[in-house]
Chain A
């Protein structure tokens, strides 16, 4: 009994922290999204959040959401964000599952260094990754410059500003997240099952496809969910390199810094949050369904 009380006390700082820095801002965001909007382009002068509870009740409106869902532009931004993030999440898992396997199952000199290098992209903010992509794959990036030197033609020039550039940049910063999460999952994997498959004469491909993937599917799906959430929210990369490809986080940035339409930006945030959360919950549920064996 005493122990339980002290355990509760230990949780308290985190609860307090989450209340102040997560719950309160989210409630504010939701409330603010129901206040009539209008940015500087509509002649805005009034400050943000200058409403009291009474005023809020009087002015509460769904007009921001009506605008959001009535305007094909914002719907296309939402669609782009979801499709891009899902594709990135699945792509990065496919790319990272083998390195994660190698990290668990093999010993080789410099393994620690290899793992440390893999985590480097996590240390960079999106804006830095965006600039990196421009330097590597921009109009006169390092890669086109080398290709030009080799072949006389600057292949891959301008890739940074295209959808492919966005994909490269997003995968770049998903690599450490996906690798580390998958590594942890593979570590828990019962390798006796793999050894049994091998002694029965299964090929590498068979072992991978019939033993490893089904058993790891829950972990794979939860990695996809994590990578999806990170990609949805990442805007630094898109801010630097997305030219014609509109994404929701960049729209939110423009609504706030360009148009000072904080209420409409709040509505965009709420929609993005709801979409990310429901997709995430759905994916995690899917992962739980695919447990082949009950947890021991």
Chain B
């Protein structure tokens, strides 16, 4: 009996943690804080990162949380995925940022372009295989789903019904009511055009179904904004914004906007977002600790307040999950894809979009 208990006690620490990333316990937190104090002494108390837009995936809340709890200033940055990558290319070998966040497709491209320093944060094994790079050049922290973020008040004023399907958006009654951001600048916007391709039967090398759809959508588009359309969408200037579901839920639940989320009836795709250590980072120790922290339930729970689904499922509280209900459509019809193959087609598809959609008369 005593032996059995001893064996059980010995087994507990070895027990696989499985889906719950509860490795950030009191002891780990104390170690984390001590390491952070050391890093602060060596590198100061400011951590610069790229693509931390306060209204995107609750970066504003995350940075405030981190500053309040751990005393490191982590200022916002208005770059988007593509502009962050362009900035890192321009600034090598002396980048300004130590840490970077992207749309996973763009972040993987950046990794392949040698802009990241491999780093496997604490709790690496808890990240599912498809959510991390085998060499540690990036890992995902959460994911969104491409959806229609619908400002119902603005749509009602325009006397148009809430659209349910991709096929609705190209109808003439939605003229000047739809927008998605410029996919050559914004990562999420790239996933918007990727999803338009994917649900219409396109493939990694056949862009025609996507481009044909986007051409038909073009007359209904208000503009292809280079900056995020979060505020115009909340205000009603853009009644239908093709963007992340989380942006719509945030407008609805946090900003009190007349906003609903629609998952299109033909289906949609999910897009992960990843983080990485920048090569030649000015403050690598702070950045590594921040990456450790981003892989904890604590961090991902703060992100999840903005309705992006955390990679560690335990970080999604039932209260938040309950608020992620689309007005129409469901999360059952999501179409899978292979991320590495998608990464390879990003540039060619963007080029096709520039030539045939944006520059088309």
- Taking Cβ atoms with an 8 Å cutoff, the residues of A that contact B are 40-48, 73, 134, 138-141, 157-158, 161, 239-241, 243-244, 246, 253-254, 256-260, 262
Contact = CB atoms under 8 A, between A and B. Distances in A.
Given A240-B227, A246-B359, A254-B185, A40 B222 contact: no
Contacts of A141: 237
A260 B359 contact: no
Closest 5 CB pairs of A and B: A260-B86, A45-B113, A243-B223, A258-B184, A257-B83
Contacts of A259: 86, 184
Given A47-B93, A161-B222, A259-B184, A140 B154 contact: yes
A257 B185 contact: yes
* Residue of A73, A139, A244 with highest tally of chain B CB at under 10 A: A139
B347 A140 contact: no
Interface residues of B, number: 38
Interface of B: 82-83, 85-87, 89-93, 109, 113-115, 154, 157, 176-177, 182, 184-185, 221-227, 232, 236-239, 347, 350-351, 359, 361
A73 B224 contact: no
B222 A258 contact: no
A241 B224 CA distance: 9
Given A140-B157, A140-B236, A258-B83, A47 B184 contact: no
A44 B109 CA distance: 10
**In terms of DSSP, what is the predominant structure of the interface of chain B?**
loop
A146 to B, nearest CB: 14
Nearest to A46: B89
Contact of A241 (B91, B185, B223, B350): B223
Contact of B86 (A138, A158, A257): A257
A243 B176 contact: no
Given A243-B223, A256-B90, 20 more contacts: A40-B89, A41-B351, A43-B113, A44-B89, A45-B89, A47-B91, A47-B92, A47-B93, A48-B89, A48-B90, A139-B237, A157-B176, A243-B222, A246-B359, A253-B226, A254-B182, A256-B86, A257-B87, A260-B85, A260-B90
Nearest to A44: B89
B89 A258 contact: no
A157 B113 CA distance: 44
Contact of B85 (A40, A48, A243, A253): A40
B185 A260 contact: no
A26 B353 CA distance: 33
Contacts of A139: 176-177, 222, 237-239
A213 B115 CA distance: 60
Contacts of A73: 359
Contacts of A256: 86, 90
9 contacts: A40-B82, A41-B350, A45-B113, A47-B90, A140-B236, A240-B225, A254-B184, A258-B185, A262-B90
B89 A134 contact: no
Contact of B176 (A42, A158, A262): A158
B222 A158 contact: yes
B21 to A, nearest CB: 33
Contacts of B351: 41
A134 B184 contact: no
A181 B224 CA distance: 36
Contacts of B226: 239, 253-254, 257
A262 B87 CA distance: 11
A140 B114 contact: no
A47 B89 contact: yes
* Residue of A46, A140, A158 with highest tally of chain B CB at under 10 A: A140
A296 B93 CA distance: 60
A259 B184 CA distance: 7
A141 B235 CA distance: 11
Contact of B223 (A43, A48, A161, A262): A161
A40 B347 contact: yes
B227 A257 contact: no
Contacts of B238: 139
Contacts of B237: 134, 138-141
A46 B86 CA distance: 10
A45 B223 CA distance: 30
A161 B218 CA distance: 14
Contacts of B86: 40, 256-260
